[in-house]
Amino acid sequence: MLQISSLKRISILFVVLLGILFAFPNFFYKHVEDYNDAIKSKALLDGDTNKSDLTYWWPKFLPSRLVNLGLDLRGGAHLLAEVNVEEVYASRMDSMWPTVRDALKAERGQIGSIRKLKESSFGQLRISVSKKEGLVRAIEIVQAMAVPVSSVNALGAKDLLVSGQDGELTIELSEAEKLATNDRTLKQSLEIIRRRVDEVGTREPTIQRQGERRILIQVPGIGSANELKSLIGTTAKLTFQEVVRQISNPDEAIKPENGLYKAYSKESTNAEYYVLKKSPVVTGEDLTDAQPSFDQNGLPSVNFRFNPSGGKKFGLFTANNIGSPFAIVLDNEVISAPVIRDAIMGGSGQISGSFSVEESSELSVLLRAGALPAGMIFLEERTIGPELGQDSIDAGKVACLVAFISVLVFMFLSYGLFGIFANVALIINVTLIFGLLSAVGATLTLPGIAGIVLTIGMAVDANVLIFERIREELKTSKGPARAIEVGYEKALSAILDANITTLITAIILFVMGSGPVRGFSITLGFGIITSVFTAIYLTRLFIIVWFERKRPKSIEV
Amino acid sequence: MRLKLIKGKTNYNFFSKWKLWLGISSTLIILSCVSLFFQGLNYGIDFRGGTTIRTESEITVNVSQYRQALDVLNLGDIVITEVFDPTFRENQNVTQIRIEAQDGDESITASTVKSVEVALSAVDPGIKFPLVESVGPKVSSELVKAAVWAVISAIGAVLFYIWLRFEWQFALGAVLALVHDIILTMGIFSQVQIKFDLAIIAALLTIVGYSLNDTVVVFDRVRENLRKYKKKNLSEVLNMSINETLARTLMTSVTTLLALISLYVLGGDVIKGFVFAMIWGVLVGTYSSIFIAGTALLYLGVKRDWSKSSANQGNKFGNIDA
């Protein structure tokens, strides 16, 4: 007969209360948000997590997690960047050249003279060997330089791929090493972007890797995608390179081990060029600090300091090259090329070009955060203004409310008292969705709101199925208790099958979708789970409790 | 007194006019395909790359003035549409500008957006740009692929589930109904040229979910009645099952439509296309789960001998569904 064990009753009520508890902070969204921010900044400032003496007050025993609002509701910028990992392959090869050269030169007797050739594809090192019969030996030498790839997925694989043909030696990174390099490059890029975005200090940015070589960046509250792009799109790759000569004709032929670099100037009319040795003396990775300052002429400049190994390399180089110029290169542009007057042993120095004060402080931020290991191109960008987001929230709220009320009225008119049970369950259902969203820290988007509205419409379905079934069972006059019992029993398989199929599509949407679509799949999926729960447990509990109290001889559904 | 969409017990014969329903559905499908083929879908930037800029102004918009200002920039094909919505404020004038994808993989150069913004600000100094989105051709082609896969895998997964829970005839019937719904929805999007973007794919998948929901409820009853009334022929059982679940089918459609229509009217213009797809999907899905899924089941026939299904396992002909 109609009954439900007290353990079950308590569990059902417990789940409902838990849901309400987690949903609760969202009713005071602005206030709780300010409160959370206050705690966060306080913890950052003085490491004090004592929550009692804040201007914003929120009971400690209540959860303070909120539903995250997606970019389309809050406004902000969204970028999808692809990291140009080939650049890393190429610079690896460039930096290998001196070592390879020295190793091969040592066996000149067998190999003959060597010469670096222009690479036929990006990220290759091509060397011609004058004695063709020595090629086998040359390959052996280079192969001996290969080391195992430092990655768990590539056990035993070597990092170099060496091949030779017709007196020509080709060296490139092996597939396994390329994959490991991609991985490392992406991790570094993520870290550096995070640091740069954090310096600006906005709330909860999303910075994620997507696939093999892409990064998704979402920053709420930032003015535009362009602003975000200039913040993170700059590589800020600083190198100190040896100057071969200064030229004015960019078409002039240069040796493969050297590269052509443009001189940085604001007026791009009379461009100057430098020929520099490609492999740098010291790179920005050896920097420990960079601060904006002014040089002896009172012009804005950037002071920097090397770590010990960088300082040593720099000191050695300057000591050996007194009297000749060296170039400070930022993102492949020569910022300045001062002449070395003295050995610089202290490990610190100053970059001065024709900076403005803003530029020097921006440059020092970028240098401090570190250089991006490779450039990026932006495949997708979106800017959403905060007003549009607010409009969407307002419209969504009104639509939700109207949808809610019309469904509630309709259900009451159709099923009377049972309709009220279903309505209370529906209200709790939506609360539970918000509770779940807050508890797992999911993001609510505009399509997500649509998902909730759709759930409001569809959630009653399970109850409708049950009530219609009870109506049918009442016709075959089995008495009200039996009719309710059988109604629930028989409707169950239809409810489960119908909802599982919808859940399957929600899961597929979640896996395959991105951004707003994913937001929709989350609310749809949660809506299915909570509506099945409320229909087969909660309304049942209501009906049983009511039935126990009233013991009606007959019921009308 | 209760509000009842269906008075008492119904006994409609849903299959007496099956030729008519089949005719209507086939005609609509053919029309959809013709429209899709000749007119095509009005793809948003998600699927073909390019940039959309939403403008908002307090003064009345003069589209031709905007066009003049932008034509000199030589950005290729530019579409400017004015947007109206009941949720807008009194002096909120909104347009949507779409610029085709420029060369290269990248989404857009900062200077292109800037030049458009400057050109429009010259026409209307108070203009604002609350939404600027651009998608590079590389990503958009991947998004198309992912979307097609999403729809196909959703249908596949569902086919598999229903086959597990019912019989293959049910699964096929349900999927025929689904394909019917998806084609008709894409057809209407092509016919009225509503923007077809990623969100619409989400709507399509929701239609898949909804239409199935309906179909499964009917099939569940068919399964139950097939066991109960072993002597009745299939068309009688189908009719009876659809009649018995009719009240529920309509109730759920009405509550869902109530919610969706309020979202359509009050939810703002940004998700209008999305909600439109779902409203249409609910209507088509309700129709198809009665007429298409049912008719397909009738045509395919089902195995009636549920009780003996396990006893026949050893027989080498036992697994052939008849």
ipTM: 0.83
Give B50-135's CATH code, choosing from 1.10.260.40, 3.30.70.2040, 3.20.20.120, 3.40.50.150.
3.30.70.2040
Could you tell me the CATH number of the domain that includes residue A482? 1.20.1640.10
Residue A293 near residue A301 (C-beta atoms within 8 A): yes
Tell me the pLDDT tens digit for each residue of A269-292.
566 788 888 888 888 778 878 888
Encoded tokens for B136 = 């590079």
Any idea which residue has 């959703």 for tokens?
Answer: B154
Q: How confident is the model at residue A203 (pLDDT cuts 50, 70, 90)?
A: low
What integer pLDDT is reported at residue A361 of this predicted model? 75
**Which among A155, A163, A167 has a CA at the least distance from the CA of A125?**
A163
- Domain presence at residue A529: yes
Q: List, as ranges, residues 155-174 from B with C-beta within 8 Å of A.
A: 157-158, 161-162, 165
Any idea which residue has 């170099």 for tokens?
Answer: A160
d(CA A222, CA B306): 63
- Is the pLDDT reported for residue B322 higher than 50? no
- Domain presence at residue A315: yes
From the list A399, A501, A509, which residue is nearest B267 (CB)? A399
A415 and A514 fall within a common domain: yes
Residues 6+ apart with CB under 8 A from A474: A480, A483, A555, A557
Domain count, chain A: 3
What integer pLDDT is reported at residue B264 of this predicted model? 92
Mean predicted confidence (pLDDT) in A325-349: 81
User: Which helix (DSSP H) or strand (DSSP E) does residue B295 occupy?
Assistant: helix B272-300
A256 and A312 fall within a common domain: yes
Scored b (16 or more CB within 10 A) or e, B184-203 reads bbbbbbbeeebbbbbbbbbb
A500 and A402 fall within a common domain: yes
Question: Which contacts (CB < 8 Å, 24+ apart) does range A412-419 have?
Answer: A413/B2, A413/B3, A414/B2, A414/B3, A414/B4, A414/B5, A414/B251, A415/A467, A415/A557, A415/B2, A416/A556, A416/A557, A416/B2, A417/A546, A418/A463, A418/A467, A418/A470, A418/A543, A418/A557
- Is the pLDDT reported for residue B145 higher than 50? yes
What integer pLDDT is reported at residue B31 of this predicted model? 94
A452 and A518 fall within a common domain: yes
- Is the pLDDT reported for residue A265 higher than 70? no
Tell me the pLDDT tens digit for each residue of A492-523.
988 988 888 888 888 988 888 776 778 888 89
Out of A47-56, A217-226, A470-479, B116-125, the most confident range is: B116-125
What integer pLDDT is reported at residue B287 of this predicted model? 92
What integer pLDDT is reported at residue A434 of this predicted model? 93
What integer pLDDT is reported at residue A59 of this predicted model? 80
Sign of the Cα pseudo-torsion (A490, A492, A495, A497, in order) = negative
CATH class of B18-43+140-304: mainly alpha
d(CA B249, CA B251): 6
Q: Decide the pairing of beta strands A160-165 and A168-173.
A: antiparallel
A174 and A104 fall within a common domain: yes
Tell me the pLDDT tens digit for each residue of B97-114.
988 887 766 666 667 888
Q: How confident is the model at residue B321 (pLDDT cuts 50, 70, 90)?
A: very low
- Is the pLDDT reported for residue A201 higher than 70? no
- Is the pLDDT reported for residue A389 higher than 70? yes
User: Which helix (DSSP H) or strand (DSSP E) does residue A444 occupy?
Assistant: strand A443-444
What integer pLDDT is reported at residue B55 of this predicted model? 92
What is the percent of chain B where pLDDT is above 70?
Answer: 91
d(CA A344, CA A316): 8
Q: Does B78 touch chain A (CB under 8 A)?
A: no
d(CA A484, CA A501): 26
- How many CB atoms are located within 10 Å of the residue B26 CB? 11
Tell me the pLDDT tens digit for each residue of A11-59.
999 999 999 999 999 888 888 888 887 777 777 666 555 555 556 777 8
Domain with CATH 1.20.1640.10 in chain B: 18-43+140-304
A435 and A318 fall within a common domain: no
d(CA B234, CA B216): 17
Largest Cα span, chain B: 83
From the list A226, A387, A413, which residue is nearest B113 (CB)? A226
A400 and A469 fall within a common domain: yes
Q: A83, A231, A381: best mutation site toward chain B, by most B Cβ within 10 Å?
A: A381
A416 and A489 fall within a common domain: yes
Could you tell me the CATH number of the domain that includes residue A276? 3.30.1360.200
- Domain presence at residue A396: yes
User: Which helix (DSSP H) or strand (DSSP E) does residue A309 occupy?
Assistant: helix A308-320
- Domain presence at residue A59: no
From the list A380, A407, A524, which residue is nearest B259 (CB)? A407
Domain with CATH 3.30.70.2040 in chain B: 50-135
What integer pLDDT is reported at residue B309 of this predicted model? 45
Q: Which residues of B touch A446 (CB under 8 A)?
A: 270-271
pTM higher than the cut 0.80:
no
Q: How far is A283 from chain B (nearest CA, A)?
A: 29
Residues 6+ apart with CB under 8 A from A380: A78, A79, A80, B107, B134, B135, B136, B139
- Is the pLDDT reported for residue B269 higher than 80? yes
- Domain presence at residue A434: yes
* Average confidence score pLDDT of chain A: 84
Pairs of residues, one from chain A and one from chain B, whose beta carbons lie less than 8 Å apart: 236
Structural domain span for residue A317: 236-352
Q: How far is A316 from chain B (nearest CA, A)?
A: 43
Q: List, as ranges, residues 191-210 from B with C-beta within 8 Å of A.
A: 198-199, 201-202, 205-206, 208-210
Last residue of a domain, one of A352, A371, A404: A352
Residues 6+ apart with CB under 8 A from A140: none
d(CA B55, CA B36): 30
Q: Decide the pairing of beta strands A76-83 and A214-220.
A: antiparallel
- Is the pLDDT reported for residue A140 higher than 60? yes
Least confident piece of the model among A340-354, A400-414, A420-434? A340-354
What integer pLDDT is reported at residue A153 of this predicted model? 66
A245 and A169 fall within a common domain: no
